[in-house]
Amino acid sequence: MSEQETIVVGKLGSSYGIRGWLKIFSYTEEAESIFAYSPWFIQVRGEWQRFELEDWKRHNKGYVAKLKGLDQREDAQMLTNAEIAVSAEALPALSDEEFYWRELFGMDVVNAKGYHLGTVTDMLETGSNDVLVVKANLKDAFGKKERLIPFLEEQVIKSIDRTAQRIEVDWDPGF
């Protein structure tokens, strides 16, 4: 399975107990949602390998999980810090008004006057609101190579066109 077909949804932590359990760090919005996806793909020595979840449970303020075929602590320890990915097709379908962050990456960002601000390269979660990281290939007329644009729907984000791969924003190119 190639990396382009997988979405990283978490990370394995250290082993827990002697029966092959591992601590789980979920990147999903609702932490427990990670356990709804199956199978998991875990990168072992640079290659994605398929694993089935045997069991999971809450442990203190986090989670631990048991993967099928990992029955010894030593086996589990070899996966410490490995990323957990799922097939992109395993993610729930969204309405036309909803989208995953990964869908925004690579989209062109223009303001209402048609000025090209750059391309979305990342998203930042700040607590108060998410932020688009928009980069231009070269410094533009305003001397900007990178812009951080708050992801505030209706206020700043005016439209997102999946087909055209374009986001229209109400944003001054001087910022």
Q: What are phi and psi of 60, to 5 degrees?
A: 55, -120
- Judged against a pLDDT cut of 60, whether residue 2 lies above it is answered with no
Report residue 15 as tokens.
């082993």
- Per-residue pLDDT of 72-103, as tens digits, reads 899 889 999 999 999 988 888 888 788 888 78
Q: Return d(Cα 133, Cα 140) in angstroms, integer.
A: 16
Q: In the 8-state DSSP scheme, what is residue 27?
A: -
**pLDDT digit string, tens, across residues 156-171:** 999 999 899 999 999 9
pTM: 0.65
Asked whether the beta carbons of 31 and 37 are under 8 A apart, the reply is no
